[in-house]
């Protein structure tokens, strides 16, 4: 579905995007004929595509093309990649062209009691939220921007370590496509070849001691273009540079195939069930690290995580535990 609200002004561009998605040259005349509009109207639409940051190329005397084409999100293709039990656990799939933040939208649904089992993806976010108040850069069709809503009974303590387990799920989905060198950086970044490939942002709502809900937000870089990428303030990598040609719909489906059963069983299983898998993917195991808090920092050797997802570091021969949200981890 493509929500057609005034805040999502792209649906009118869908037809032209779908025509140009093949990466071939299309003349203004053929585009106008296919869309049933004048050449002047085609021109206006093409200008809007450029304003979205898409690398539209004008081929002298022949027309226009999007080099490399576009792999647009498509509900039918995405659903085709879902397997049981995820297929049955998914209540609703919402695809948007442009939203402020899929996490913000899903929190809004959960507050109205309607986001359980809902997965929302957007081609572009104008105010994508990252951890620690950062912005998550999400240029049009440049990545996977996915939020998944889930309600729990029993209070938020049952979710301890969930963001780390989500990292394991993302790594497993990527490994299904043969993506090499996938690692996890505590607490919940997915790295590849020493740079950030994906991030996780969990947001909570409801009564944190009883019936509450979580939004699991995942941002994964697939193909970042230069101008958008230059706004990212940490070392990053995208999937196309490691493993080109992975279909975004199949990848999004694979993520849901891992995430939905994880969310369903997490209150019973907890992080202990994922700890070993997390440690096998640990980027920093046995390596010198620095742990930085607002007031001070510690240096030591990373020793993985405990059953709650706390980071274990040997500092001056003493085993210390660090909890997510309080500190950040840097290479030593
Ligand atoms: C991080 O800072 O590492 C976490 C990034 C999480 C970004 C995703 S994109 C989909 C979802 N919607 C948001 O606004 N943020 C998350």
pLDDT in tens, 272-319: 999 999 999 999 999 999 999 999 999 999 999 999 999 999 999 999
Give the mutation target among 100, 120, 145 for probing the ligand 1 site: most ligand atoms within 8 A of CB.
145
Q: Report the predicted TM-score, pTM, of the whole model to 2 decimal places.
A: 0.94
What is the overall mean pLDDT for the chain? 93
Residues carrying CATH 2.30.30.100, the chain: 284-331
Kindly report which listed range (7-11, 33-37, 41-45) carries the lowest average pLDDT score: 7-11
Dihedral-angle region of residue 206 (phi above 0 means left; psi in -120 to 50 means alpha; beta otherwise): left
Q: What angle do CA 123, 124, 127 make, to 5 degrees?
A: 150
User: In ligand 1, which atom is closest to the CA atom of 122?
Assistant: 10
Q: How far apart are CA 270 and CA 30, in angstroms?
A: 56
- What phi and psi, each to the nearest 5 degrees, are found at residue 23? 80, 0
Q: How far apart are CA 62 and CA 26, in angstroms?
A: 7
Position 11 scores a pLDDT of 64
Residues 6+ apart with CB under 8 A from 287: 301, 302, 331, 332
Position 2 scores a pLDDT of 42
Looking at the domain covering 284-331, what would its CATH class be? Answer: mainly beta
- Nearest C-alpha neighbor of 72 from the set 19, 111, 125: 19
Position 10 scores a pLDDT of 66
Residues 117-129 as b/e (b if ≥16 CB within 10 A, e otherwise) read bbbbbbbbbeebb
pLDDT tier at 5, thresholds 50, 70, 90: very low
136 in contact with ligand 1, CB cutoff 6 A: yes
Looking at 1.10.260.30, 3.40.47.10, 1.10.3720.10, 1.10.10.10, the CATH number of the domain 14-65 comes to: 1.10.10.10
147 in contact with ligand 1, CB cutoff 6 A: yes
Kindly report which listed range (16-30, 140-154, 226-240) carries the lowest average pLDDT score: 226-240
Catalytic residues: 131, 196, 330
Find residue 199's DSSP bridge partners: 189, 219
Percentages helix, strand, coil for the chain (3-state, rounded to 5) are 35, 30, 35
Whether domain 75-279 has CATH 3.40.50.720: no
Ligand 1 center from residue 151 Cα (angstroms): 19
Look up residue 138 and give its two tokens.
């999400």
Give the mutation target among 104, 130, 185 for probing the ligand 1 site: most ligand atoms within 8 A of CB.
130
User: In ligand 1, which atom is closest to the CA atom of 128?
Assistant: 14
User: In ligand 1, which atom is closest to the CA atom of 146?
Assistant: 10
129 in contact with ligand 1, CB cutoff 6 A: yes
């Amino acid at each position: 579905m493509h929500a057609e609200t005034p805040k999502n002004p792209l649906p009118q561009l869908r037809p032209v995007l779908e025509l140009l998605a093949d990466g071939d040259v299309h003349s203004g005349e053929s585009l106008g004929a296919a869309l049933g509009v004048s050449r002047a109207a085609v021109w206006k639409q093409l200008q809007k595509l450029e304003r979205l940051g898409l690398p539209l190329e004008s081929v002298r005397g022949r027309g226009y093309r999007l080099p490399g084409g576009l792999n647009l999100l498509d509900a039918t293709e995405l659903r085709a990649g879902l397997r049981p039990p995820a297929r049955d656990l998914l209540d609703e799939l919402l695809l948007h062209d442009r939203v402020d933040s899929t996490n913000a939208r899903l929190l809004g649904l959960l507050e109205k009691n309607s986001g359980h089992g809902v997965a929302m993806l957007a081609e572009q976010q104008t105010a994508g939220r990252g951890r620690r108040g950062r912005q998550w850069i999400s240029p049009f069709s440049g990545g996977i921007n996915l939020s998944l809503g889930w309600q729990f009974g029993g209070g938020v303590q049952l979710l301890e370590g969930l963001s780390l387990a989500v990292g394991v799920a993302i790594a497993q989905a990527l490994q299904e496509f043969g993506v090499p060198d996938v690692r996890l950086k505590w607490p919940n970044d997915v790295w590849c070849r020493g740079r950030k490939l994906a991030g996780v942002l969990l947001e909570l709502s409801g009564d944190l001691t009883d019936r509450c809900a979580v939004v699991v937000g995942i941002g994964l870089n697939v193909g970042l273009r230069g101008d958008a990428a230059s706004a990212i303030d940490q070392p990053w990598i995208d999937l196309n540079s490691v493993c080109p040609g992975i279909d975004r719909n199949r990848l999004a489906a694979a993520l849901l195939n891992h995430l939905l059963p994880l969310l369903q069983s997490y209150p019973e299983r907890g992080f202990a069930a994922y700890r070993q898998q997390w440690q096998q993917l640990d980027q920093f195991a046995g390596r010198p690290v620095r742990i930085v808090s607002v007031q001070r920092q510690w240096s030591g050797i990373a020793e993985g995580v405990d059953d709650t997802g706390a980071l274990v570091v040997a500092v001056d021969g003493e085993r210390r535990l660090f909890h997510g949200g309080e500190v950040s981890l840097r290479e030593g």
